[in-house]
Chains A and B, each alone.
Chain A
Amino acid sequence: MALMKREEWEDLVRDVDWTLSYADDDAVFPEWQSGTGKIPREAWSAWEESYKISYPEYVSIQAEKEAAAFAVKAALQRSTIFSSLDEGWKSCAKVHFGGVSLAEYTAFMAEARMARFGLAGPWRNMAVLGALDEIRHCQLSLFFAHEFVSKDPQYDWALKAFHTNDWAIVSARSLFDAMMLAGNVVDTAIQLPLVFETGFTNLQFVGLASDALASGDINFANMISSVQTDEARHAQQGGPTLELLMKHDPVRAQWIVDKMFWLSARVFAVLTGPAMDYYTPLDHRKQSYKEFMEEWIIGQFIRTLQDHGLKKPWYWNEFIEGLDIWHHSLHLGVWFWRQTVWWKPQAGVSKAERNWLNTKYPKWEEIYGPIWDQIIANVNCGNMQATLPETLPWLCNACHLPLCTYTSSPDGKYRVRDFPLTHNNYTYHFCSKVCRQIWWEDRDMLHVKTIGERFLAGEIQPRDFPGVLQYMGLTPDVMGDDAYGYKWATDYRELLGPESSHPRPNSIRGRERIPSEALSIPINAKFGNDFVMHVVVVNTSDTMAEVAQRVAYRSVGKRVRPQDRDMVVYYEGRAVADNESVSQVGIGPFQQIFVDYASDSRRGR
Chain B
Amino acid sequence: MIVEDAVGPILRMCDEVESVIRAIQDDNPADLEIVDRGAYVRVQRRGFLRVTRGSLERHLGAGFQMSRFQSIMSAFAGRIRTSSDEIVWYLQSASISSKENPR
Contacts and interface: CB of A to CB of B under 8 A. Distances in A.
B56 to A, nearest CB: 15
B40 A210 contact: yes
B40 A206 contact: yes
A225 B74 contact: yes
Contacts of A221: 13, 39
Contacts of B81: 50
A267 B42 CA distance: 26
A577 interface: no
Interface string A191-202: 000000000001
A307 B84 contact: no
B6 A300 contact: yes
Contact of B1 (A5, A65, A205, A295): A295
Interface string A219-261: 0011001101101110010010000000000000000000000
Interface stretch (A51-59, A349-357, A408-416, A446-454): A51-59
Contact of B13 (A7, A225, A303, A304): A225
A209 B79 contact: no
A5 B39 contact: no
A232 B79 contact: no
B70 A232 contact: yes
Contacts of A375: none
B65 interface: yes
Contacts of A225: 12-13, 39-40, 74
A6 B86 CA distance: 12
A413 B78 CA distance: 39
B37 interface: yes
Most buried by A among B37, B84, B92: B37
B77 A229 contact: no
B63 to A, nearest CB: 10
B32 interface: no
B82 interface: yes
A212 interface: yes
A299 B78 CA distance: 10
B72 to A, nearest CB: 7
Contacts of B75: 202, 206, 228, 231-232
Interface residues of B, number: 34
B24 interface: no
Given A50-B80, A303-B5, A307-B78, A65 B71 contact: yes
Given A61-B67, A306-B93, A307-B92, A239 B82 contact: no
A229 B91 contact: no
B51 interface: no
Contacts of A53: 67, 70, 82
Interface string A285-299: 011000000110001
B73 interface: yes
Contacts of B78: 303-304, 307
Contacts of B73: 229, 232
B84 to A, nearest CB: 4
A5 B65 CA distance: 10
B71 A64 contact: yes
Contacts of A68: 14, 71
Interface in B52-103: 65, 67-68, 70-85, 91-94
B12 A7 contact: no
A213 interface: yes
Contacts of B71: 61, 64-65, 68, 229
B21 interface: no
Contacts of A303: 5-6, 77-78, 91
A264 to B, nearest CB: 16
A212 B13 CA distance: 12
Contact of A5 (B12, B82, B84): B84
Contacts of A7: 83-84
A214 interface: yes
A229 B74 contact: yes
A329 B75 CA distance: 30
B94 to A, nearest CB: 8
Given A232-B73, A232-B74, A210 B67 contact: no
Contacts of A287: 37
Given A206-B74, A232-B74, A295-B1, A50 B79 contact: yes
Given A229-B70, A229-B73, A229-B74, A307 B38 contact: no
A293 B91 CA distance: 20
B49 interface: no
Interface in A499-551: none
A201 to B, nearest CB: 9
A236 B13 contact: no
A286 B40 CA distance: 11
B79 A304 contact: yes
B13 A299 contact: no
Contacts of A233: 70
B76 to A, nearest CB: 6
Interface string B15-57: 0000000000000000000000111100000000000000000
Given A210-B39, A232-B73, A307 B79 contact: yes
A212 to B, nearest CB: 7
Given A229-B70, A300-B6, A307-B91, A210 B82 contact: no
Contacts of A5: 83-85
A57 B65 contact: yes
A54 B83 CA distance: 11
Interface string A46-87: 000011111001001100110010000000000000000000
A286 B94 CA distance: 29
A206 B12 CA distance: 8
A184 B15 CA distance: 42
A303 B94 CA distance: 10
A573 B28 CA distance: 62
Contacts of A231: 75
A205 B74 contact: yes
Nearest to A58: B67
A5 B101 CA distance: 23
Given A50-B82, A221-B13, A228 B74 contact: yes
9 contacts: A5-B84, A6-B83, A53-B67, A61-B67, A222-B13, A225-B13, A229-B71, A287-B37, A303-B5
Given A6-B83, A210-B39, 14 more contacts: A5-B83, A6-B84, A53-B70, A54-B67, A206-B12, A206-B39, A228-B12, A228-B75, A229-B70, A232-B70, A232-B76, A295-B1, A300-B1, A300-B77
